[in-house]
Structures are given as C-alpha cells and as structure tokens.
Amino acid sequence: MPNTPSTCLDLSQKRILLTGGSGFLGKHVMEQLQVLGVKPEQVRIPRSQTHDLRRLEVCQEVVRGQDLVIHLAAHVGGIGLNQAKPAELFYDNLIMGSQLIHAAYQAGVEKFVCVGTICAYPKFTSVPFKEEDLWNGYPEETNAPYGIAKKALLVQLQAYRQQYGFNGIYLLPVNLYGPMDNFDPASSHVIPALIRKVHEAQVQGRDYVEVWGDGSPTREFFYAEDAARGIVMASQLYNGADPLNLGTGEEISIRDLITLICELMGFQGEIRWQPDKPNGQPRRCLDVSKAREAMGFVAKVSLREGLQRTIDWYRRHSGC
C-alpha cells in the first residue's frame, strides 16, 4: 500500500490529543509541536491517574473535538518487566490502543498517529529490519505479548483505512533513550539501566558492574529528541497504510555499548557478565530508507553525543 500523495498538515491550526504526553517521549514530542507553532492550549494530554484509556467511555471522551491523535501511551519496560507482567502488558496495550482507534474513527478525527514498537518484529529477522519483514515470524519470546499487542493496532488501522477511509498511520521507532528517561531499575530499558549501574558503582566505590546476558546482542539506539521530531514529521507528511521505521540505521553490541558508557563516565572497573540472565533479541537494527524517502527524515544526534547528554542529565538529577 503506497503512501498517498504528500500534503503537509498544518499542525499549528489543529486540536491535538497527545496520549502519553507527560511521559519520556511525550515531553519531547510536545517540545517539537511547539517548535511548529502549536500552543499548549491546543494539546490535550490525558493523565493515567484521571483518564484510564482501558475504558471505552474514557477514550470516547478524550477524542471528542480533536483533529489529530498522537498515541504514545503504553505500559512498557525492559526485559525484567516483560518477564514479570506479560499478561498486563498484552492486555493494557491492546485494549487502550484498540479502543482509542475506534473512538477516534467514530468521532471523525482527521488523522491518527500510532507509535508502535520494535518488539513487534520477529525474533530472527534479516538485518537491517525492513518494514515488509514485520510478519515473517514470531517476536522474541520475552517481549512477544507486548510486541504482538502493539502490532495488532497496525492491523486495526489498516482495516479501518480499507473499510472506512480512516487516515491512521503506524510508526516503528527503535529503542529510545535520552534525558528524562526512566531510570527505575525495576522497569528501565538498557541505556538508563547501564548508566545507573555505573553511576552507583562510582558513588559506592565498587570496582565492578554486573550486566545481564553475555554482551553479544546488538541494538540500535534512537535519541528521544530525534524520535519526537520524526513522529511530528510523520504527523505532518506521512499518510501511508504501511508501517514506517524510525531510527538511525546504526547498530552496536551491548558489550560495546557498556564499554562506551564506562568511557564517557570515567569508570575503569570490571564488567561482570551474567549469562544466566536473558539476552533478548539477538540483533536489532532498522532499515530507515523508507522514512528518508517518504518525508526526508534523518536522525541528527550521534550515539556518543546522545549518551553524553543523557549521562549529564542523570548525574544532575540522580540525587547522589
């Protein structure tokens, strides 16, 4: 399904629902919207404490009167959380996304932007991951419930486009990191988890850090400010039925990643690998050519620069 003829949506004139807008990625998306002239009063950000998107009537209420929905809200975390709460991750992400799409269609919302997950790709996928490979196998087991729940929303959007002409797009950002990330060891992703481990070792005077797995898996990491810029560009410019990868197209092993973090943080201690802990998916790296061709998106922040900014932010806010 090719991209429809490109027209630039003037977001400065739109009423926007930004789910997850108070979260890590959402704060960066809000900043990018403001760069385009969107005023804070044009953006509605429902908070989970007062608006449970797992309830259909809440979804119907929050989409009322909106022109654009950017759906970032998710119940998400690292391997540990995926292992501990697979049922919650499946149900919460599927039900709130599905109901929000349906409510938006019923309310006559002009466009729906759904942010999916790299976890939707099959465990064994040719690298770099191409959008057309999305259905070529089962996701990596530790995060399959989350990945499948989010991938189901792509099917829903394509079905609603086919039957109702509803303009919903689906974006696949790779692993995010950056300032304001979640550094909680119970639910954080790999970069904030590693930064915290090294920082705590330095503060406590330990000469080693322990890292899950054996260091062999590879990942692609996407600075959150770049990701937010890509999401907002897609909100303006991309109207295709097919999913769209967002990332840098650059791959690094976990072993090289922790080495780089230690270098940037000035830590010279030992890395103790924990091979009894899960590695996760063997490799992750995206083919990002489609986003470049469809809307001219290219990531700007290098991994080294992004890590340094993230480390500096964490040290300022760690409280120790």
SS3 at position 11: helix
Taking the C-alpha atoms of residue 91 and residue 87, their distance in angstroms, rounded to an integer, is 6
Q: Is residue 20 marked as binding?
A: yes
Sign of CA dihedral 99, 13, 110, 225: negative
Q: 189 among the known binding-site residues?
A: yes
Asked whether residue 150 is marked as a ligand-binding residue, the answer is yes
Answer whether 173's CB lies under 8 Å from 72's CB: no
Residues known to be catalytic: 146
Residue 280 is assigned to a ligand binding site: no
Return the closest-CA partner of residue 17 out of 73, 68, 55, 90. 68
Interacting residues of 19 by C-beta distance below 8 A, sequence separation 6+: 26, 45, 46, 53, 62, 69, 70, 71, 72, 73, 100
- Contacts with 50 (C-beta within 8 Å, 6 or more apart), sequence order: none
Residue 292 is labelled as binding a ligand? no
219 appears as a binding residue in the annotation: yes
22 is in an annotated binding site: yes
- Determine if residue 266 is labeled as part of a ligand binding site: no
Asked if residue 53 belongs to a known ligand binding site, the reply is no
Q: Could you tell me the two tokens for 103?
A: 């409510």
Q: Is 244 exposed, middle or buried (0-12, 13-18, 19+ CB in 10 A)?
A: buried
C-alpha span between 110 and 96 (Å, rounded) = 19
* Residue 175 annotated as lining a ligand binding site: yes
Annotated binding residue 26: yes
The C-alpha atoms of residue 124 and residue 267 are separated, in whole angstroms, by 34
Q: Check residue 205 and give left, alpha or beta (phi > 0: left; psi -120 to 50: alpha).
A: left
Q: Judge whether 216 and 273 are in contact, CB under 8 Å.
A: no
Q: Annotation-wise, does 221 bind a ligand?
A: no
What single DSSP character describes residue 213? B
Residues belonging to the binding site for NADP(+) are 20-26, 150, 173-176, 189
Residues belonging to the binding site for substrate are 197, 212, 219
